Amino acid sequence: MEKLIKGLHHVTSMAADAKENNRFFTKTLGLRRVKKTVNFDSPEVYHLYYGDEIGTPGSVMTYFPFGPMPRGKRGVGEVGITEFAVPEGTLGFWQQHLVEKNVSGLREETFLGERRLAFDGPDGDSFALVEADPAGRTAWSGDGIGRDEAIVGFHGARFRLRDAAATGELLQFMGYELDETDGAVTRYRIEGGNAARTIDLEERPNADHANQGAGSVHHIAFAVEDRAAQLKVREALMDTGYQVTPVIDRDYFWAIYFRTPGGVIFEVATNEPGFDRDEDTASLGEALKLPERYRPYREQIEKRLPEIA
Ligand code: ZN
């Protein structure tokens, strides 16, 4: 599947409280809510999408806020850290900003030559801001965060795995190249795609498996340009023995899913048609958008969903 994968498309996680989730990603991290819709399999739960101005693939963090639920327990077999890119020289700003917003788990680190600031999300989610070249990406300047400091999209993600070998092989099959290694972490990088290009595999042979819950990443999605590319990727994966779902219409992209050897659920999602297919860019994410099959039930659905502003 030479050059078909273009980096990350989105990362989807689980949250407890919808209002708190919305507040954190828009007010604390300054992302734009680019879509307010529902979980297509259970419309009493929101599906909230946060990203840059238009929800460019490679910038989109999405959540299912399920309501009161236990927190996930970190372990192997999952995405351990979701990493956002910020412009070089801005970690000082972010440190101060996140302290002011009472964000927990703040620690500055250097890893593979990159300056990072780790922090926790509202449900104990593991995040890091990584200083990187913004490389032509345009940020959304949200609440109190100027364009010169704002998050420009994902940098990448770190998986924690008991055995990283098979997942490393899969990433290479998907077009990623083996990059640097630091201790137990091996970096894979994809060139020629969007800027959300690194996947780090951290091997922990003796760690317990993760228990998914609030704050856990549910799945991670990789970008392809269009449906033709997606079908080629699907065929290549199936030829290699992966069990891949049929193509599913997610209204803003088409999706296929498969489980990887290390336990992480992968999605491959199209860059088309995008989040502006049913709303103007100026008002993106404001109105509740429903997939066609739920539209007759809008009134009942709206009554059951919490107010999130
Ligand atoms: Zn997804």
pLDDT digits (tens, 9 = 90+) for 61-78: 999 999 999 999 999 999
Residue 301 is which amino acid?
A: I
Distance 13 CA to ligand 1 centre (A): 9
Q: How many CB atoms lie within 10 A of CB 162?
A: 16
Distance 99 CA to ligand 1 centre (A): 31
Residue 134, pLDDT above cutoff 90: no
Distance 267 CA to ligand 1 centre (A): 6
Between CA 237 and CA 225 the distance in angstroms is 17
Distance 220 CA to ligand 1 centre (A): 7
Q: What are the structural domain ranges in the chain?
A: 8-304
Between CA 69 and CA 123 the distance in angstroms is 10
Distance 89 CA to ligand 1 centre (A): 32
Mean pLDDT over each residue of the chain, to the nearest integer: 96
Q: Residue 79: what pLDDT?
A: 98
> In this structure, what token pair is assigned to residue 188?
């894979």
Q: How many CB atoms lie within 10 A of CB 89?
A: 11
Confidence category of residue 185, pLDDT binned at 50, 70, 90: very high
Residue 47, pLDDT above cutoff 80: yes
Q: Residue 141: what pLDDT?
A: 87
Residue 309, pLDDT above cutoff 90: no
Distance 246 CA to ligand 1 centre (A): 14
Distance 12 CA to ligand 1 centre (A): 6
Distance 218 CA to ligand 1 centre (A): 8
Distance 224 CA to ligand 1 centre (A): 13
Per-residue pLDDT reduced to its tens digit, 262-288: 999 999 999 999 999 999 999 999 999
Query: What is the arithmetic mean of pLDDT over 254-259?
Result: 98
Distance 105 CA to ligand 1 centre (A): 26
> In this structure, what token pair is assigned to residue 101?
């917003």
Q: Report the side by side order of strands in the sheet with 42-51.
A: 32-39, 42-51, 60-65, 8-15, 217-224, 265-273, 253-259, 248-249
> In sequence order, what are the residues at sequence separation of 6 or more whose Cβ sits closer than 8 angstroms to the Cβ of residue 179?
186, 187, 188, 189, 198
Return the residue matching tokens 């809008």: 298
For domain 8-304, give the CATH number: 3.10.180.10
Residue 2, pLDDT above cutoff 80: no
Distance 9 CA to ligand 1 centre (A): 8
Distance 221 CA to ligand 1 centre (A): 6
